[in-house]
Amino acid sequence: MKVAVGADHAGYRMKDELAVCLKGLGHEIVDFGTHSDAAVDYPDIALGVARAVASGAADRGLLVCGTGIGTCIVANKVKGVRAALCHDTFSARATRQHNDSNVLCLGARVIGPSLAEEILRTWFGAGFDRGERHERRVRRISEIEDDSGPNC
Ligand code: RB5
């Protein structure tokens, strides 16, 4: 898969480590930065990654900031993106299976590198549980984004 990765100054070290892991798993990386401790604004980085996923330029996205929250909020503003903040492997698996999430958000100030890698491997290893109820719910998310369908 082609994976768009991005982080702010709080998350770039973890992002770089996880990019190495993703390459080892055979994925191609498109890196939206940042690359140093110099402070940058996470919305701009997150927007680049989210747009890459939404446009199909990338298959998945990975965002890392201090908490993972800021980048997750931004990514979910972009139509077609289902970003999930995960700090445990149960959520990482469940959000792929139930939500078909396409962007993973992590907080480098919340979890350590080993757990982050485990979450990453779990998220990339899990597939969407196709079937009536999960597909219906994900379709409903798209309807809400499009302002279409009943009660929109
Ligand atoms: C940067 O200090 C911090 O606010 C950012 O990394 C992130 O945690 C925002 O949600």
pLDDT for residue 27: 98
Q: Please, are residues 53 and 103 in contact by the beta-carbon 8 Å criterion? A: yes
Q: Name the amino acid, one letter, at 33.
A: G
Predicted pLDDT at 64: 99
Residue 63's identity, in one-letter code, is L
Q: For residue 117, count CB atoms less than 10 angstroms from its CB and return exposed for 0-12, middle for 13-18, buried for 19 or more.
A: middle
Q: What's the pLDDT band for 25 if we cut at 50, 70, 90?
A: very high
Instruction: Report the C-alpha gap between 122 and 144 in whole angstroms.
Output: 28
Q: Which domains does the chain have, with CATH numbers?
A: 2-146 (3.40.1400.10)
pLDDT band at 59 (very low <50, low <70, confident <90, very high): very high
Confidence category of residue 132, pLDDT binned at 50, 70, 90: confident
CA-proximal residue: ligand 1, atom 5 (nearest) = 66
Tell which atom from ligand 1 comes closest to the C-alpha of 65. 6
Annotation says 98 is catalytic: yes
Is the overall model pTM greater than 0.95, yes or no?
yes
152 a catalytic residue:
no
Average pLDDT of the residues in 94-98: 98
CA of 83 to the centre of ligand 1 (A): 16
- The whole-angstrom separation of Cα 104 and Cα 82 is 9
Q: Where are the beta strands (DSSP E) in 16-130?
A: 28-31, 60-65, 83-85, 103-107
* Ligand 1 pocket list (CB less than 6 A): 8, 10, 42, 65-67, 69-70
